[in-house]
Structure 1
Amino acid sequence: MTKTILVIGTYDTKDEELHYICERIAAQGGKVLSMDVSVLGDPSTPTDVSKHQVAQAAGSSIQAAIDSGDENTAMQIMARGASVLTAQLYGAGKIDAMLALGGTMGTDLALDCAQALPLGVPKYVVSTVSFSPLIPADRLSPDIQMILWAGGLYGLNSICKSSLSQAAGAVLGAANAVEPPVSDRPVIGMMSLGSSCLRYMKYLRDPLQERGFEVAVFHATGMGGMAFEALARQGYFAAVMDFALPELSNLMVGSVVNAGADRLTNAGTQGIPQIVSPGCADLIDFAGWQDIPEAYSDRPFHAHNRLIKSSGLSPDERRALVRDIATRLKGAKGPVHVLMPTQGVEEWDKEGAPAYDPEGLAAMVDEMGKAIKAPAELTMIDCHINDEAFADAALAILDAWIADGTVKLDA
C-alpha cells in the first residue's frame, strides 16, 4: 500500500524547501498531503490543507491571527489548529506519518502536531533547533525523530538538500516499515532502570509471560516514562507495574530528566490496575555533563556513567515526594496497590553503597504509611526491592486480580 506523508510547514516563506521534500517523497513512491501553517503569505500552489482551514480548526481565523499583532500568538493559533487536523487526518486514515519543517516557530508548532499522533506513527521534524536544549523534554513525543536543518534557513542549497532528502527518505521508509504496537496478548507495562540498579524484571518477566502476558519494560530516564504514559493514555495496558519513579523525584526538584507533569496519572485515569513502588525515588538524576548543584553537594552521590549521575533526596524531600505520589494515585479509577520494600528501593542504597541513607529510607517508609489512603491498598514488605520476595509479592497481587476478573487474560 502506498503511504501518505503529511508535510507541514509555512508554505509562504519555505515554499521551495517544502516542495523539494514533497518531490523527494513522491520520487520514492510515496504520496503527500500538504498542510500550510503560514499566516501572512500564500504558497506558490494551493496546499491540500489551507492556512484558513488550520486557523478555523483552532476556532479562529487568519485575520484574527494577523490582528493579534504578535507572531507568537499567531503561530500558537496555527499550532492548535494544525495539531487538531493532524489527529483528525490520522484518525480518518488519510495519513500514515508526518514530516514538518521549521525554525523555532515551525518547530514549536511541529512538536504539538507530533504529540497529537499515537506512539508508532512516524513523526519527523526537520529543524534549525533539532534536539536543542531549548526544547523541554515534555514537548518531545516518545518516538519523535529530528534532524538538523543545516545551512537552509534561507533557500535551497546542496547542504540543506542533504538534510531534507534524508528526512524525506526516513519518514517514508519508517511509514513502510513500521509495525504499530498492536498485541495479540494483554500487555503488562513496567517501569524500571538498568539491571545494575533495579532487578525485579529478571524475576517477573518469565512468570508474567507464562501467565499469558506480553511484558513491555520502559526505561525511567524521561523519554521512557513519556512513552509509558502515552500508551497508558491509549488504554494499551492490561495492568501496570510502575516500580521506578525517579522521574517524579526529578520533576519535584526541577531536573531535566523527567517525563512530564502527568507521570503516574494516565493509567489511573484510564482505570488500568496499578501496582506501584517507589523504586529509585530516593535519587535526583542530573545530566553527566552538569555540575552537581551546590544544594546537593553534601548528599549521597553516584556517578552511573558519563551521561547520568545522581544525588540523594533528603528525608524531608522524600516525605514530600511520597505525598505527591499519593496525590497522583488518589484520582485513579482502577485498583491501586502500593508495595513499600522497607529495606531499600534501589541497589545503591544498601549499606556500604554510595546512596546508603537509613534516615531517608525510614522517612519514606513512615510517610508512605501516612499518605496512602483507601481505596488504594498499601503493603509494607520486609525486603529490598531487588529481592525475589518483592517480585513474588507483586505476582501475588496480580494473581488475585486475575482470579477475581480485575485483570483480563484476553487481549
Structure 2
Amino acid sequence: MKTIAIAGTFDTKGEEYLYIKQLAEELGLRALMIHTGVFEPAFQPDVSNREVASAAGVELDELAAKKDRALATEVLSKGLEKLVPRLYQEGKFDGIISFGGTGGTSLVAPAMRALPIGVPKVLVSTVASGNTAPYVGTSDIMMIPSVVDVSGLNSISTRIFSNAMFAIAGMLLFEADYEPEKKPLVAATMFGVTTSCVTEARKYLEERGYEVLVFHATGIGGQSMEALIEAGFIEGVLDLTTTEWADELIGGVLNAGPHRLEAAGRNRIPQVVSVGALDMCNFGPADTVPEKFKDRKFYHHNPTVTLMRTTVEENEQLGRKLAEKLNMATESTVLMLPLGGISAIDVEGQPFYGPEEDRMLFDTLRRQVDRSRVELIEMDEAINDPAFAGAAAQKLIDLMQAAKA
C-alpha cells in the first residue's frame, strides 16, 4: 500500500486535513500526517511539530514563546526541509501533498523541492496562479490554485481539495510499464536562435547511443540543468547556448542567477561550452524595455519578446564572466568559438550581425581563459552550421569516453 505524506498546520486547519486524510484512506492510501504549526494540533499527527522544530535544532516551546510568526515559519521550514527527505529515504511515504496560503506555501515548498525529481508533490495554494518560481524552483512540484482561501471546508474548497487528492492518488497508484533503455544522459542548452545547432548535435549524439535532455535557456531552463548536474543525473554537458549570462549581467528577464555555468566544472562532468546567443539580451513586450536602453538596437522576436543587441563593452564583460566560470573547472572542459556568428541573427545580412562585438567577445575569452584548464577550439563556421554542431557533439563524446577510461 502506498503512503502519502500530508503536511500542514493542524492547529488551525484540523477540519480540512482530516477530510484529506479520510479521502486518502478511501482511495486506498495510507496517510502520514506531519504537523507544521507552532501550537498544539487539533488531532494527533504521525510526525509532531516538535520533531520538525528539532530537525532545525530548535526547541518548540522556545519558538512558541517568542510569538514571532515570521521566525516560526523560517525555523519550521528549515526543519521540514531536513526532515521530509529523511523520512522519504526511510520509506515512510511515497508522495506528499499540502495546502496553504502564502505562509503555508513558503513553509512546505522547500521540503518538497528537497525531494528527488519524480516523487509526486502537490501543493494547493492561494498563490498558485501568480509567480510560482520562488516555490517551484527547479523541482517538479505541481501547484494547484486553491481559488478560495485555504480555511475551512465549503462547496468550492472541498471540490478543489478532492481534485488535488485524486491527482496525487493517480500518480501514486498508477505506474507506467514502459521502462526506457538506459543510456548516458547529456544535457544541452538551446534558444530559438541556436535551434538548428542543437537539433543537429542532438541527432548526432542520439545516433551514437546517448540520450539528450534539451533545456531552453530562459533562466529556469539553465537553473534546472544546473540542478540536475548537481544531483548526479548528467554524464556530459553540451552548453552551447550561454545567453542567460547576458541577461544576468545586463538586466534582462531571462537570467539564470550568478551560479550558472558552475555545476559541471565543480562536479568534474565533461562539458563543451560555446557562446550561443550572447549577442542578445531579452525583454518582454517593447514597452517594458527600461528607458535607459531606448537608443539601443532591438529586434522584435514576437509581440511578447524583444531582443536587444549586446554592445562591444558588454561583450568584454561577458567574455570575462564566462572565462571566470570556465576557469573553475579542473578537467574535461572545452570552449568552442563559432567565428562566423553566435546566433541565427548574428550572421551577415541579419539584424544583429556584429563583427566588432563578436571580436571583442572572442578576444576577451582568448585572453582570459586558462588554457591549462580549458581547451579552446575555434572554427570559422557560424554556430548553426552543421559542421560546428557535429564537431561540438563529437568533442563531448571524446571527453566522456576519456573520463570513463
TM-score (norm 2): 0.91
**Aligned equivalents of 1:376, 1:173: Cα separation in 2:** 48
- Is 2:106–2:135's contact at 8 Å kept on the other side of the alignment? no
- Is 1:57–1:82's contact at 8 Å kept on the other side of the alignment? yes
Q: CA deviation at 1:127?
A: 1.0
- Is 2:332–2:399's contact at 8 Å kept on the other side of the alignment? no
What is the aligned partner in structure 2 of residue 33 from structure 1?
Answer: 32
Secondary structure of 1:159 counterpart: helix
- Is 1:120–1:178's contact at 8 Å kept on the other side of the alignment? no
What is the aligned partner in structure 2 of residue 132 from structure 1?
Answer: 130
Q: 1:1-39: per-residue Cα shift (whole Å, max 9, x none)?
A: x33222211111222222222233322222221211111
* 1:387-398 correspondence to structure 2 within 5 Å: 387-398=385-396
Q: Is the counterpart of residue 55 in structure 1 residue 53 in structure 2?
A: yes
**Aligned equivalents of 1:51, 1:234: Cα separation in 2:** 29
Instruction: Single out whichever of 63-72 and 210-219 deviates more from structure 2.
Output: 63-72
RMSD between aligned residues? 2.4
**Aligned equivalents of 2:361, 2:326: Cα separation in 1:** 16
What is the aligned partner in structure 1 of residue 300 from structure 2?
Answer: 303
**Aligned equivalents of 1:290, 1:115: Cα separation in 2:** 35
Instruction: Single out whichever of 237-246 and 173-182 deviates more from structure 2.
Output: 173-182
* 1:75-94 correspondence to structure 2 within 5 Å: 75-94=73-92
- Is 2:335–2:374's contact at 8 Å kept on the other side of the alignment? yes
Q: Is the counterpart of residue 327 in structure 1 residue 324 in structure 2?
A: yes
Q: Measured at CA, do residues 277 and 197 of structure 1 come closer, stay the same or move farther in structure 2, by a change above 3 Å?
A: closer
Q: Measured at CA, do residues 169 and 318 of structure 1 come closer, stay the same or move farther in structure 2, by a change above 3 Å?
A: farther
TM-score (norm 1): 0.90
Q: 1:93-151: per-residue Cα shift (whole Å, max 9, x none)?
A: 22222212211111112221122012222222111111423x55586233221111121
2:158 counterpart (156, 161, 167): 161
Q: Measured at CA, do residues 336 and 117 of structure 1 come closer, stay the same or move farther in structure 2, by a change above 3 Å?
A: same
What is the aligned partner in structure 2 of residue 8 from structure 1?
Answer: 7
Secondary structure of 1:22 counterpart: helix
Q: Could you tell me which runs of 5 or more consecutive residues in structure 1 were left unpaired when the two chains were aligned.
A: none
**Aligned equivalents of 2:384, 2:293: Cα separation in 1:** 26
Q: Measured at CA, do residues 26 and 295 of structure 1 come closer, stay the same or move farther in structure 2, by a change above 3 Å?
A: farther
Q: Is the counterpart of residue 173 in structure 1 residue 170 in structure 2?
A: yes
Q: Could you tell me which runs of 5 or more consecutive residues in structure 2 were left unpaired when the two chains were aligned.
A: none
Q: CA deviation at 1:340?
A: 1.3
Q: CA deviation at 1:170?
A: 1.6
**Aligned equivalents of 1:289, 1:6: Cα separation in 2:** 46
**Aligned equivalents of 1:83, 1:289: Cα separation in 2:** 41
Secondary structure of 2:342 counterpart: coil
Q: 1:294-313: per-residue Cα shift (whole Å, max 9, x none)?
A: 12233332333344332222
Instruction: Single out whichever of 83-92 and 353-362 deviates more from structure 2.
Output: 353-362
Secondary structure of 1:304 counterpart: strand
Secondary structure of 2:359 counterpart: helix
Q: 1:257-291: per-residue Cα shift (whole Å, max 9, x none)?
A: 23344322222222111111121122222234861
- Is 2:109–2:135's contact at 8 Å kept on the other side of the alignment? no
Q: Measured at CA, do residues 76 and 391 of structure 1 come closer, stay the same or move farther in structure 2, by a change above 3 Å?
A: same
**Aligned equivalents of 2:175, 2:252: Cα separation in 1:** 33
- Is 1:246–1:283's contact at 8 Å kept on the other side of the alignment? yes
Q: Is the counterpart of residue 199 in structure 1 residue 221 in structure 2?
A: no
- Is 1:58–1:80's contact at 8 Å kept on the other side of the alignment? yes
Q: Measured at CA, do residues 169 and 74 of structure 1 come closer, stay the same or move farther in structure 2, by a change above 3 Å?
A: same
